[in-house]
Structure 1
């Protein structure tokens, strides 16, 4: 074979090898960028702490510019008129959001950890390849290992600056969110961020308690309101010190909105907003009497907003269906196409995000068990769009209500005014000792001022709610079922409350980081 032929054959072989390599690389590139491959959306849940639903502009607040960032989110997503949480106190509510179960079914009725065998949302997302982060309210999801956080600023970054913000500094919410989003980009993973503003939880912005608790390290005052600028909630008396404290509360509401805005700004700057499902809600009502740590309409109703680019119609409103906090976890898993975990109390409302209808969403069930001070105040409530029924197991005329809502100016002002004002005296007495049964006509009385349980005109409705509550309690394995069923029998409620006291004494605040 001549040298020329050898060169020619060698050249042809090299060319064929090069073509084969190029074909292989092209196939690899095609597989790598295959448009059919599912891209998992990021999940961002932003919450506020102790914010009444109607403190948000789009949900009825009349203070101009109070929540511009939340209002903008609503314009870009869907509002839910009838969204509720199932337990109106921080840790039990948040652990229900993360487990899809009522507190009596996840093991955390007070401020204790959930059962080790109960699956969590963040646990399922970790299994699906997500990177998980949390900002604020970290201590209210326990035990730590069940929530699989890859990012907790003061733990994972050994950074005390975040902790010193007390969860109330909008700049820190922006900066630490931005760090987490970059962390997700670097890891090339979808993310789940749970960003929780500590506002407008007490102490309220600019109050004496604010100064006493935080001193010269207190969070920035982004805006203060005068008592004349605000509306006093209808379930509170409109007297000077109540109005003064409500104004301080709204200063905290505005700062909470700015913290939420900081997170949303960081998301936009990350370039990942277009593929992020954003959910906003409050964990329950404001820390005032007849709101937080109760089962009233103003206790459990939450300003739920969901934005999902290219999926949820911007500016849409669902005013038809009633949904609960226990429905959040199954909805997210459903949206991601992930399998639902067993023994969920809630169910997915994913069809509602697409403007569809869903049967069986005509009522919500609310529960309450125990305050942080380990005092049991068991309550149950059933609500539809028109009426609300509450049963107070603890109401015996002796045990008095206490807790977060009885601190500060409002309760002190009510107690003082009760000395000379018969109407306020009646409200103070009702709050302190309650009555076993309450029934309200929400269409006429959303603030729960007129208990109709003994009104003959409503007797058939009251009985209908009693019967339905018994059915719901049975369906959800509520440990109060038997006591409610046999409540008219002598000694049944007293024995139930004794069991509750024993249970409370055995609960612990297991906080680990």
Structure 2
């Protein structure tokens, strides 16, 4: 399992990224397996997202709604693999799966041992050692290799210099004129500059992916190892990470399974999400499923089949890394997305890490003379209790259609679907949402 940290779904070239050769290794991996174009994480922030992956449960059912450990009674993928004789390893983001004893790590490599989680060669070195250990002990293995790119601080940025007291190495610097600014952000100079820094980090992440795959290949495990790549959430910019927009949770999920998954496969119809990771891995390995999970295996899709039940996805948000609660829920189908912002009352102000860099400060400055940008800033800070988007025509969520009379039927349908999910899953937000609807 190879993960990117805060990589937007459409950054890799294989998923539509427009910067030439930004992710050649990820693109090659995609050509050797299956790309999922409707893949989502369940919650768009680091530790909760990763805790969902390893338990198959929504955050309110595993205990890690924010940056907390999962509950002791919640079983994990690693416990099941350990019991089956697997060697478990983790590289980077080690503190984001807790408590440590629930994950049965046989190999534990911290970010400090990996050049702040941003040195591709160190990932190669430690991955090679892990694979050699598995070979020497004659054990099957699970390796979770987590890049810290392209998480803030970005490569070459002032934030990086402040955080690490130096600029970390990179081999290709994306220039502002090369960058493509996402549609949910205004294309103004400092935004373009920071997007370029993000893309420089994304390229370094791709190099880490390449070095990890090189270590796997050189160790002789290339042909009998399932490889999955995905990001834990969207990019750390306004209207992406730590929210419930399409660009918050959509993820570039790739699966390479030699002899099973047809190369160059693309699934553009089925929704898969973070809760499905553990059920899928255990199904693929022929191991017993964990009890009481919320997700389900998508092995049938990997084998070329279909699943008519995968026509929607539920995503959630609870709290930021600063422990500030901003309860949000989203339900989306192939066309529409409905978001409930329980925290939005017209007075409370939204705060997250994306406001610390160049982009949001530039947006605030531009808002003084640009009414359109001023409205985007206001929307980001205060929201509205309900949002409704046609993600088919408006994937950047620029036009809130919640008051559109012609869409009342679709809005009511998704409201009812979300309420039914809340009731079925025991969501603590259900009474608040029910009161809002009444």
| 2-structure distance, mates of 1:299, 1:73 | 23
Structure 2, unmatched stretches of 5+, are none
| 1-structure distance, mates of 2:242, 2:409 | 29
1:429 aligned onto 2:385? no
**Matched residue, 1:47:** 3
CA deviations on 1:74-108 (whole Å, 9 max, x unpaired) are 01000001000010000000000000000000011
Instruction: Tell me how many residue pairs correspond in the alignment.
Output: 438
1:114 aligned onto 2:65? no
**Matched residue, 1:407:** 356
| 2-structure distance, mates of 1:54, 1:379 | 23
CA deviations on 1:378-413 (whole Å, 9 max, x unpaired) are 000001110100000000112111111111000000
Matching residue within 305, 320, 326 for 1:371 = 320
| 1-structure distance, mates of 2:430, 2:137 | 48
- Normalised TM-score (structure 2): 0.99
Is the 2:236–2:354 Cα contact (8 Å) retained in structure 1?
Answer: yes
**Matched residue, 2:164:** 214
**Matched residue, 1:495:** none
**Matched residue, 1:285:** 234
For residue 161 of structure 1, report the CA deviation from its aligned partner.
6.0
| 1-structure distance, mates of 2:163, 2:47 | 21
CA deviations on 1:314-370 (whole Å, 9 max, x unpaired) are 111111111110001001111111111111000111100000011210000000000
Structure 1, unmatched stretches of 5+, are 1-44, 155-159, 490-513
1:204 aligned onto 2:204? no
Matching residue within 137, 142, 158 for 2:93 = 137
Considering fraction of residues, name the structure with more helix.
1
Matching residue within 172, 182, 199 for 1:223 = 172
1:187 aligned onto 2:137? yes
Is the 2:363–2:373 Cα contact (8 Å) retained in structure 1?
Answer: yes
The secondary structure found in structure 2 opposite 1:227 is coil
**Matched residue, 2:46:** 90
For residue 211 of structure 1, report the CA deviation from its aligned partner.
1.1
**Matched residue, 2:113:** 162
For residue 219 of structure 1, report the CA deviation from its aligned partner.
2.4
1:296 aligned onto 2:242? no
| 2-structure distance, mates of 1:183, 1:456 | 62
In the superposition, relative to structure 1, how do residues 421 and 161 fare at CA in structure 2: closer, same or farther (>3 Å)?
closer
1:416 aligned onto 2:365? yes
The secondary structure found in structure 1 opposite 2:29 is helix
**Matched residue, 2:402:** 453
| 1-structure distance, mates of 2:394, 2:214 | 39
| 2-structure distance, mates of 1:153, 1:285 | 25
| 1-structure distance, mates of 2:41, 2:337 | 15
Q: Which has the larger radius of gyration?
A: 1
The secondary structure found in structure 2 opposite 1:401 is coil
The secondary structure found in structure 2 opposite 1:373 is coil
Q: What is the CA RMSD across the aligned residues, in angstroms?
A: 1.0
**Matched residue, 2:127:** 177
CA deviations on 1:208-233 (whole Å, 9 max, x unpaired) are 111111123x4212211111101100
| 2-structure distance, mates of 1:327, 1:119 | 15
- For residues 41-80 of structure 1, what are the structure 2 equivalents within 5 Å? 45-80=1-36
| 1-structure distance, mates of 2:388, 2:76 | 35
| 1-structure distance, mates of 2:66, 2:175 | 36
Is the 2:94–2:109 Cα contact (8 Å) retained in structure 1?
Answer: no
| 1-structure distance, mates of 2:280, 2:174 | 38
- For residues 340-351 of structure 1, what are the structure 2 equivalents within 5 Å? 340-351=289-300
**Matched residue, 1:395:** 344
After TM superposition, the structure 1 stretch with the greater mean CA deviation from structure 2, 134-143 or 222-231, is 222-231
The secondary structure found in structure 2 opposite 1:485 is helix
Is the 2:261–2:302 Cα contact (8 Å) retained in structure 1?
Answer: yes
Is the 2:7–2:235 Cα contact (8 Å) retained in structure 1?
Answer: yes
The secondary structure found in structure 2 opposite 1:192 is strand
| 2-structure distance, mates of 1:99, 1:183 | 26
1:352 aligned onto 2:352? no
